[in-house]
Structure 1
Amino acid sequence: MNTAKIVLATLLALALGAGAFVWSGIYNPGADNPHWKLTYAVMETTRERAIEQHASTLSVPANLNDPQLILKGAGQYAAMCTSCHLAPGMQDSELRPGLYPQPPDLSKVSVDPREAFWVIKHGLKMSAMPAWGMSHDDATIWSMVAFLQKLPGMTAEQYKEIVAKAPPDEDMGPMDDNSLPTSDGHTHSGHMHADD
């Protein structure tokens, strides 16, 4: 009986302490103030395992190598993704340095198709990754996944060529050279999504 009271008192003290911490406002939520290394490691592991688990039941379409699907995905990527995830030849954007956690540079890393689809569709809490599934159908999201399979290793010139050939899409703004990397490797105005 004594042990139960000690456990209960400890749990109550922890709950009150956590409540006082939350209510105090002393936690700094600024994106320019990184988490402790342990906190970051726990959050990263939790996120990665959750994405793996949720994406594991998805079936990858057989047509991910379809050139037309890849072209559509190139246009979508140029319109919606480069400000955060960059493109070949881009070294930075105006938005990216202020993001925490820092999004992966998808022009340099390969991503699992199922995990990419799940993240694009559902987004990620407490990050700048939106849930594109709220405004885009699965076929469009798979086109972006198809393009992502080709993106790593693509040169800046190859990227510009494929984006220039991308089909027009009613949910994207006009395709112009403003979102393509400049000679200094930066972009100063990304494609605007029609909803933006």
Structure 2
Amino acid sequence: MKQWLIPVTVFAGIAAVGVAYIYAGIYDIAADKPHWPITTKILETLRQRSIEIRAADIEVPELETPRLVLQGAGEYAAMCRGCHLAPGAEESAIRLGLYPKPPDLSEVRIDPKLAFWVIKHGIKMTGMPAWGRSHDDDTLWAIVAFIRKLPEMTPQEYQDITAKAQAGEETTHMGTPGNAQDGHTH
């Protein structure tokens, strides 16, 4: 018997079982049922490493300018708050239905390179859209500038800056100045 026959047979058997498993519909894909722990670990590692590799060479611009942070506040209020919350905000209806649940950006700090890449390109099979299809890089960097400040804000500071941003028409939501409403756009 040839040495290659055993590994090829084992591989073919595993592939056949995998195909049968997929077509049998055994795995519950419902968003209200969590993945198996091993599936979660694999998907989280895949997501994390994929983003890290692709974001590694991104050059971060100056993010501390008040105008950029203010613009980002309006964009965040219009496009991100429903899923990623705000200081003092309760769970939103959309967040309760998402799996995996998006991070609460009022409580976590995210590397600016990683945040920019995710905002621009989105993440497949999650609720995170690719905002780079409808927004320029300057607008996306404004959002990054704002989310860097978000964890240190009080609920009142959040309300003040987003009200100021929306009143001053600092947003370019979907390419139209001043069109930042509290609607959910994805």
Calculate the TM-score normalised by the size of structure 2: 0.91
Task: Give, in whole Å, the separation in 2 of the partners of 1:46 and 1:143.
Answer: 27
Q: Which moved more, 1:37-46 or 1:77-86?
A: 37-46
Correspondence for 1:187: none
Correspondence for 2:121: 122
State the 4+ residue runs in structure 1 displaced beyond 6 angstroms. none
Task: Give, in whole Å, the separation in 1 of the partners of 2:9 and 2:111.
Answer: 47
Contact 1:88–1:159 (Cα < 8 Å) also in 2: yes
Which residues in structure 2 correspond to 1:48-67 (within 5 Å)? 48-62=48-62, 64-67=63-66
CA distances 1:93-145 after superposition (whole Å, capped 9, x unpaired) = 01101111111000011110000000000000111000000000000000000
Deviation at 1:174, TM superposition (A): 4.9
Correspondence for 2:173: 171
Deviation at 1:79, TM superposition (A): 0.2
Partner-residue secondary structure (3-state), 1:95? helix
Task: Give, in whole Å, the separation in 2 of the partners of 1:60 and 1:76.
Answer: 19
Deviation at 1:170, TM superposition (A): 4.7
Q: What fraction of aligned residue pairs are identical, expressed as a percent?
A: 50
Q: Which runs of 5+ in 2 are unaligned?
A: none
CA distances 1:16-64 after superposition (whole Å, capped 9, x unpaired) = 11111111122210011111112101211121111111111000002x0
Contact 2:82–2:184 (Cα < 8 Å) also in 1: no
Contact 2:51–2:117 (Cα < 8 Å) also in 1: yes
Contact 2:172–2:179 (Cα < 8 Å) also in 1: no
Correspondence for 1:132: 131
Correspondence for 2:89: 90
Higher helix share: 2
Contact 1:174–1:191 (Cα < 8 Å) also in 2: no
Task: Give, in whole Å, the separation in 1 of the partners of 2:153 and 2:39.
Answer: 35
Contact 2:75–2:173 (Cα < 8 Å) also in 1: no
Correspondence for 1:76: 75
Correspondence for 1:15: 15
Contact 1:164–1:175 (Cα < 8 Å) also in 2: no
Correspondence for 2:103: 104
Q: Structure 2 vs 1, CA of residues 192 and 18 (structure 1 numbering), >3 Å: closer, same or farther?
A: closer
Q: Which runs of 5+ in 1 are unaligned?
A: 177-189
Equivalenced residue count is: 180
Q: Which moved more, 1:39-48 or 1:119-128?
A: 39-48
Contact 2:32–2:97 (Cα < 8 Å) also in 1: yes
Contact 1:52–1:115 (Cα < 8 Å) also in 2: yes
Correspondence for 1:151: 150
Calculate the TM-score normalised by the size of structure 1: 0.87
Q: Which moved more, 1:128-137 or 1:163-172?
A: 163-172
Task: Give, in whole Å, the separation in 2 of the partners of 1:20 and 1:69.
Answer: 52
Deviation at 1:171, TM superposition (A): 3.0
